Homo-oligomer: A and B are copies of this chain.
Amino acid sequence: MKLYDAVWAPSPRKVRMYLAEKGIHVERVMVDLRIDEQLTPAYLAINPRGTVPALELDDGTVLAETSAICRYFEARQPEPPLFGTTAEEIGLVEAWTRRIEAEGYAAVGDAFRNSRPVFADRALSGKWPAMPQLPGLVERGRAMWEHFLDMLDARLAQSEWIAGRRISYADICGFVAVEFARATKLHSAERASVARWHRQMAARPSAEA
């Protein structure tokens, strides 16, 4: 089994954090996004989507979606649970994960991919026909991000962790989204409860993974 990984990019970081929280070690192959190695014929033969992360199983099956890679490992090693154990926990982890991705992570991603000259005609990550950048998505992304932070702050004023009483995959997604926003200079005013939770996440060894 091999995990195709990359430095800096947020999606591979989610997988590394997840694996660190689980205490799982996997052979890693680094893909150099600075030279677009993810779009070379050699890498596209492994993952036709042209994205990282990707997990190649021993039978040749490739999982090229962050949450699919983590759920694969969760099924193989349930402890400690990061996707919930009861039906209600399972539902809440998925609900918060989806909300973070659709309202927060997408906002940062849209603002980033549609503003940087290096992504001209490559507004979508991975292997696509030419896709022009849309400046309107930068503005929309900024507005979404502010709205998302208010929502997340209200949630974290009521709950220690995003999806309930213990850390879950939703916290990993939320933390990486906030870190992605910082790294791409999507500035916003500090929210007290988000800041409390961010410190709590940043103090975990998995934050260095």
A residues lining the B interface (CB < 8 Å): 49, 55, 57, 59, 61, 63-65, 67-69, 71-76, 86-88, 90-92, 94-95, 98-99, 123-124, 128-129, 131-132, 134, 136-137, 140, 143-144, 147
Q: Which residue of B lies closest to A73 (CB)?
A: B87
New A-B contacts (5) at CB < 8 Å, excluding given A69-B91, A137-B137: A57-B88, A76-B87, A123-B140, A129-B147, A134-B136
The contact sample of 20 A-B pairs, CB cut-off 8 A, is: A55-B91, A61-B88, A63-B92, A65-B98, A65-B99, A68-B95, A71-B94, A72-B87, A72-B94, A73-B87, A74-B90, A75-B86, A75-B90, A128-B144, A128-B147, A129-B143, A129-B147, A131-B140, A131-B144, A132-B140
Q: Which residue of B lies closest to A132 (CB)?
A: B136
- Chain B residues in 8 Å Cβ range of A136: 132, 134, 136-137
- Chain B residues in 8 Å Cβ range of A129: 143, 147
Interface of A (DSSP majority class): helix
Q: How far is the CB of A3 from chain B (nearest CB, A)?
A: 13
- Chain B residues in 8 Å Cβ range of A59: 88
Q: How far is the CB of A197 from chain B (nearest CB, A)?
A: 19
Interchain CB contact under 8 A, B95 and A64: yes
Known interface pairs A91-B71, A94-B65, A136-B132; A49-B99 also in contact (CB < 8 Å)? yes
- Chain B residues in 8 Å Cβ range of A71: 90-91, 94
